Structures are given as C-alpha cells and as structure tokens.
Amino acid sequence: MQAISPCLWFDGQAEEAAEFYVSLFENSSITGVSRYGEGAPFPEGTALTVTFSLNGSPFQALNGGPHFTFSEAVSFSIPAEGQEQVDHFWDSLIADGGEPSMCGWLKDRFGVSWQVVPTELGELLGDPDPERAGRAMAAMLKMTKIDIAELRAAADGA
C-alpha cells in the first residue's frame, strides 16, 4: 500500500510553494509536475499538480483555483531540535508575508498553517511535577514563537 499524503489546494502557487517547502527541509525534493494544457482554467504550462516529499513524507500540491482556501483547522507540525531549528523554520516560514500566531503556530505566505514545536516542549509540559509543567504551559500560552530558554526558566520558577 502506498503512503497516504496530503493534497494542498492552491490558486496558481502550487509549484512556487513546493519549491519553497523543499528548500526548507532536509531529504526533500520535487518528484513530479503535471501541467495544464491549452484551454485549461490556468495558462498553458502552469503546474496542475506537483508531487514532492518533505523529509521523506509525500505531499501533493494542486492548482485548483480560488474556490477553497486554507484554515488553521489543518496544520503541519515541525518537531524542532533546539532553538536554532525553531528560529530557522519560524523565520523562514513567516518571511515574505507569513503571519505569526500564538503558541508556535504560524501561517506561511501561501496561507498554510504550521506549528514549529521544539521537542523539549513535550518534555516540559509532560513533567511529572504538575506545578513545573503548569508554569511551562503558562509561559507557552503567552508566546508566539516558542523560546526554549524562557520555557525552561518558567518551568524552574525563575
């Protein structure tokens, strides 16, 4: 059985988005492009579908038109190892028109929602000491981009 993969609906930016996403993640590539022909709803030669992989996971992008848009109801979660990765993914994804949100969530310039989640966040929120975990949670709820040092300091009561 083949892997299940998300299909992202774009209004003309499918190829640009796929190229952007594969530039951000290791082990990523565009694996195929089909194009609209003459008489299609987009100019001839525009990508109809783009298949690509992000860190080995398959994706598909479709230029389907303006009928459907993205919402926060679906997002992609990026497990980030350390603050440097958090900063890299966050800064790259909000560049050129993306929008920061709360608790590590953001929308990229195409309107796709992402969560940039440091792996330490789960450890801090799952701490066996409920007061320590609660302080980490309270700190996270005030953040846009997650700051690991601030989370640790809050968990430690500093």
Could you give the domains of the chain? 1-66 (3.30.720.100), 74-158 (3.10.180.10)
Query: H/E element holding 118?
Result: strand 113-118
Question: Pick from 12, 85, 22, 13: which is nearest to 57 by CA?
Answer: 22
The answer on pLDDT for 90 being more than 80 is yes
Query: H/E element holding 33?
Result: strand 29-35
Q: Give me the pLDDT at residue 2, please.
A: 77
Chain segment 105-157, per-residue pLDDT in tens? 999 999 999 999 999 999 999 999 999 999 999 999 999 999 999 999 999 99
Compute the average pLDDT of residues 39-61.
96
Q: Give me the pLDDT at residue 158, please.
A: 85
Both tokens of 16, joined, read: 């640009």
DSSP structure string for 58-69: EEEEEE--TT--
Length of the chain: 158
Q: What's the angle, vertex CA 16, arms to CA 37 and CA 35, rounded to 5?
A: 15
Distance CA 90, CA 117 (A): 10
